[in-house]
Every structure is written in C-alpha cells, then in structure tokens.
Structure 1
Amino acid sequence: MLVLLSTYPEYSEKLRSVHLLAPVSFMENSRSTMIRALSLPFGSYSFITPLFGDTSLLENVFIRNILGFESCRRTEGALFICPYLFFVGFGGRSDYTLENVYPDFYSTHPARCSMNQAIHFVQLYKSGHFRQFDFGTKGNEQRYNQTTPPDYQLVNINPRFPLHLYHSKDDTFSAKEDVEHLVTLLGNKSVRHFIDLNNFAHMDFVLGYNVKDVVNGDVLSEMKRVDGLLAG
C-alpha cells in the first residue's frame, strides 16, 4: 500500500481509511533470522541475484521436506518443529498463535512467490532505505537513469484521513524502530497503534487468538468513524 500510494498518489482518493498491520517499509532494524541469513548472498546485487531472482520461492517439494514445511501440513507431523519454523520464517516468537493453527496455516503457507520478493526485503534491510529493487549499477541506469534505485517518495502520500499503523515490539520482521521511523516521516498523515504485549509477533496480527480485542476492534471503530464523517 505504501508503494502504491507513494508511486500513484491519485489512489488516495479511492480509499476511505487505510489500516496497515505490521507494515514493512524500512527494514534496517529487522531481527528476522531469515532476512539476516539471506543478506549474506543477496544483500547486494551480484551475479547470483538474477540466477535466483526469477525462480519460485520454496516451490521444490524436496526442499520443502528438508526444511520441514511438508511435515507441518499434517496434524500428525513433526509439530515440535512447526512453531520454530513459524518463528524463524514469519516474524518472531509468539505467545498468541495456538498450536492447532499450524496445520491449517502450513496447508497454504509458505505460498509460492518470486524469489525477487524475498531479495527485495533483504535489500531493504541491507541498505536501510525504503526504495525500489536494486538491479545493480548497470541495471539501475537502464531502469532508473541513476546508479542506485530511487527511494519511494513518501511525501507523495496524501490520504483523505491519516493512515493507521499497527505494530509491536517483538515483531522481528517489522521492527518497532523501523515503524517509528516511518511514522516520523509520515507525520500527521499517520496514526501509530502500538500493541504493548510481550511476544506479540508479526503473524499474530492475523492469527493471534486475541487479535479481535487488541487490533480488530480499533480497526472497525475507525472505519465506522470515517464512514460516519463521509456520510455527513
């Protein structure tokens, strides 16, 4: 959403209220084990980037079996490893996602996507910028007419009502410091909602058993408030 609104500001007029759960933009302070591990081979553009970038992430069933994802698809699988994979791959240790959720979660996740998406996250972590994909010096000159990828212009975001950003301190993917930096740049165009709970992690914003009370209630209240204002 931040990419859309900064690149095509006219879309702001099409939105009533915007609610970003555990938003990812700046990633310099990310504590994600996966992001940090991938930053070694993919943090800077090299000859291996295009070799892997156009492939499908975790499509190979053999690799999925080695990593344990296939076992976690089955209730009788190695459930002891499923929470660990969840913490490492999806944004931190959780006290709010129940174990009986894992088989359903792993039946569809991790979903296939381009490896370029993962590489882009790693580039954001390594560079400290919220910017477009880095294709290397030559590729950047061809695409952007400059040697480094351009930053997304957050100044272009002009919503009718402030963006609402929800985050926590134990989300290792969307770090508290990075969200606070984003809020500082957005200024009065944003409202920050800090979920002050220990071990409330990235995926808890969707799968946590208490999400109705700590997140969704505020989201619905603000949506109703905005609808009332627009109704006159």
Structure 2
Amino acid sequence: MTSKSGDVVFLVLLFFAIFKNAFGQNLAFRIDKDATSQGYPRDSLSNFTEFARNYGYAAEELTVITGDGYILSVFRIPKGKNCRGRVRQPPVLLMHGLLQSSDSWLDAGPSAGLAFLISDACYDLWVGNVRGTYYGRRNVRLNPDTDSQFWNFTSHDMGRSDVPAIIDYMLKETGSSKLNYVGFSQGARIFFIMCSETFGYCDKIKVSINLAPATRQKYVRSIPIRLLYQFYALIEPLLSSPRELEVSQKGGSIQKAFFFFCKDNILAGTVCRAALALINSYDPGSILTQTIRVLFGHFPGGTSARNLAFFGQNVISGRFQKYNYGTRKNLELYGTVQPPIYNLNRTNIPVVLMYSENDLLVDSKDVHWLSTQLSNLIESYKIKRATWTHLDNCYSQYTKITIFPKISEYLQKYSGLDL
C-alpha cells in the first residue's frame, strides 16, 4: 500500500468511525412523503415496480420462498415498452452484485439500465434479489430485527437456496424447461456456487453470462474494499446481535447520509463521484451525475457481516473455498481441516465471462484463473473500454454500446431452441 493511498483510506475510515460514534442510530436524515420537494429525484424514491412504471414499463412483484424460509421479492418485466415483436424464449434471470438489489439494474435509466435494455430486446425478464437485501429481509420463522440466526448466511446459501428457488418459480410460472442467466459480481459468484453445490439446477440454464464474476478474490486491488472484507473476516466471530450482524442496510446511517448529501447535483458530481472512484477506480464521464443522485437511494442495500467475512476469507486465502469455521467445526462439517474449494468442473453448461483491466474489485487475473477452471467456456470477453470499472456494469451511461451487444449476442444465440 502506498503512503498516499494509505492516508486516504485511513482518513475515510476515521471519518466513518467519528460519524458513527457522534451520531449512530440517532442520526436522522428526514425524508418526507413529498420528498421530491426536498430535492430527491423521483427515481431514487421509487421501488422496482414504481421505477419501471415511471418510464412506461409494465412490471410486477412476485414472492419466492426459499427452502430455508427466506422470503424474496422477485420482479418481472414480461415485455419491454420498446419491444415491437414477439417475446423471445426462454426467460432471462438477472442477478445483482454485493450490497446491491434489483433496483441497481434500473438506476442508470431507460437508455442504459440493463433491465430496460434486456426487456426492450423482447425478453421475458426476471430480476432477482437475495437474502439480506431490503427485498430479502423477511423469513417465515425468523425476525431480522430480533433473531440473530436470520443473519447467519453467506453467498454460499444464496447459491444453494436463493437462486434455485427463483429458478423453480420462474420455470413453473413460464412453463419453460430452461432459462438464461445474467449475473454481476456476487450474482455470478452464486451461480458458480449453485452449480458446485446443487444437483440439476445448473442444467436448467442454457447459457450463463457473467459480468465481473467474483469467485476467487486473490487479487482485489481496491484498498477500501480489501480492508472492509478483511475487517469483517476478523471481527465477525465477535458479533452477536442482529444490529451488529446486519451490514450497510438501506435506511441505515451510511446509506441515509449518502442519500441525503448526494441528492444535491453539485455534491453528487464531485464528492459522491469521488467516493465511488475511491472504491471503484475512475472512468471519466461514464456514470452520469443524475445516476449518482438516483443510485444512492437504493445503495447500499444490505447484507450480513458473515457474508462480508466470507469474501474476506477468500481474499486472505486466495482460494475460492467454502466458509472457514475453524479447525474443529471444519472437521465436523467438511471432514477436513481446511474448507474444501468449490468444484467449478461441475459447471458444465455454456459460460461467458466479461471483465475489464480497470476493475479494482474483480481483477482480470482472477477472471483468467476462473476461465481455466471451466469445462465449457464459450468466451472470455475483455471489455473494450479501457477505463471500464466494476460498477460501470450497472451504472454507466455506455452499457448499451459496451456490454449489452455481447450480452445480446449470447442471449439470442441461446434463445428459441430446446425449450
């Protein structure tokens, strides 16, 4: 770590420590019912269905219950507003990244948000959410505010339970035997975990298109994110209450603070843009100021401390392996001292990887490693925009010309056959 970057990270962490100690849960950034009069963009205050309908897209909210009782909201746009032909089959499932939600696929607006673009290309689009987000903060037995057990999960559980439950629901509702999958970062990670840890579900997907897939995390270059992961890997065993175990939730002090300050056009284009660049690298002109004003209404969207610790363990070990509970419990659960690595050879369906050299959160070296582990890799595609960052995959104004053509190419290739 250079002295300069270390000083920047230290100051940012110090700021948040002082911020939390000074204000904590008592800090309130009031958002009235008529919040647009306070300068908040309408889209930032909208949930998925409201956001889509703001631009004339018909969207519906559906409820999926996982095998272990988590209640997830899943959204569907059966046909895009600009689709002029018949809806293509099979349906498409779009999965968000860490600390995001389904709303992240809308935040860039109808000209750039992938949920708009894919549905406009005449696909029956389903947009999922995982446990721990504000769309996955319910359980049939557990109360997230009082039951610590609710937060005892990682992306391993999302891959084993959340995605399979959504797939079953989609196929039942549409009558299709298969679907196409598009996952970003953690959304790609849980796809590979699902293929490794479940039987038959990988075979229900015709093609999986993975944007910045967060599997092995050995070469994460974002210093704040690397420190965040490692911090939770260190302290997670010491946490016990739901208040401690829920991290970066929507409506929490950090999200509300960013939402409050970033509604301002000047602050959004300067301070808030710099905050994104600090963790994400910088791509000049890629993410519009208006998008920054909107996205902080939905981001961060929450997860568990254990999930961040899981990412941290992967950073420390340099391996794409299961959760490390310590020697004694590892022996009980796995029969080995070290957690077993995920069996990527079980991902036997067509897979596309998309990555960039300027991504500080999912390094190209880790993507190259992943490509060598897959038995049916169709293409590992380097995004041509040299400055493309991790979060550009969701929020850039240029998605339509950078990543969507490749996504569309493979969705078309694997549509209309063997349904």
TM-score, structure 1 as length reference: 0.86
Whole-Å Cα distance in 2 between the matches of residues 27 and 190 of structure 1?
22
1:177 and 2:394 matched: no
Of 237, 240, 248, the match for 1:50: 237
Aligned to 1:199: 387
| Count, aligned residues | 223
Amino acid at match of 1:106: F
Of 385, 390, 397, the match for 1:209: 397
> Are the counterparts in 1 of residues 216 and 366 from structure 2 also a CA contact under 8 Å?
yes
Aligned to 1:16: 206
Whole-Å Cα distance in 1 between the matches of residues 338 and 266 of structure 2?
46
SS of alignment partner, residue 165 of structure 1: strand
If each structure's strand is expressed as a fraction of its own residues, which one has the higher value? 2
5+ residue gaps, structure 1, are: none
5+ residue gaps, structure 2, are: 1-190
Specify which structure has the bigger relative contact order, considering alpha-carbon pairs within 8 angstroms and separated by 6 or more residues. 1
If each structure's helix is expressed as a fraction of its own residues, which one has the higher value? 1
Whole-Å Cα distance in 1 between the matches of residues 408 and 385 of structure 2?
20
Whole-Å Cα distance in 2 between the matches of residues 93 and 32 of structure 1?
12
Amino acid at match of 2:264: T
Amino acid at match of 1:110: P
Whole-Å Cα distance in 2 between the matches of residues 42 and 190 of structure 1?
36
Deviation at 1:12, TM superposition (A): 2.1
Whole-Å Cα distance in 2 between the matches of residues 185 and 125 of structure 1?
18
Change (3 A) 1:62 1:212: closer
RMSD (Å) for aligned C-alpha atoms: 2.3
Change (3 A) 1:70 1:51: farther
Whole-Å Cα distance in 1 between the matches of residues 261 and 359 of structure 2?
22
Q: What is the CA deviation profile of residues 90-122 of structure 1, one whole-angstrom value per residue up to 9, with x for unaligned ones?
A: x33233111211121000100111111211111
SS of alignment partner, residue 134 of structure 1: coil
Whole-Å Cα distance in 2 between the matches of residues 77 and 57 of structure 1?
28
Q: What is the CA deviation profile of residues 173-201 of structure 1, one whole-angstrom value per residue up to 9, with x for unaligned ones?
A: 11011001100111543421110222210
Identity %: 22
TM-score, structure 2 as length reference: 0.49
Aligned to 2:297: 107
Of 109, 128, 136, the match for 2:326: 136
> Are the counterparts in 1 of residues 383 and 402 from structure 2 also a CA contact under 8 Å?
yes
Deviation at 1:128, TM superposition (A): 0.7
Change (3 A) 1:64 1:225: closer
Change (3 A) 1:190 1:153: farther
1:83 and 2:273 matched: yes
Please say which structure displays the higher CA radius of gyration: 2
Amino acid at match of 1:3: I
Deviation at 1:39, TM superposition (A): 5.1
Amino acid at match of 2:238: L
Whole-Å Cα distance in 1 between the matches of residues 347 and 252 of structure 2?
41
Of 192, 197, 213, the match for 1:7: 197
Change (3 A) 1:223 1:41: closer
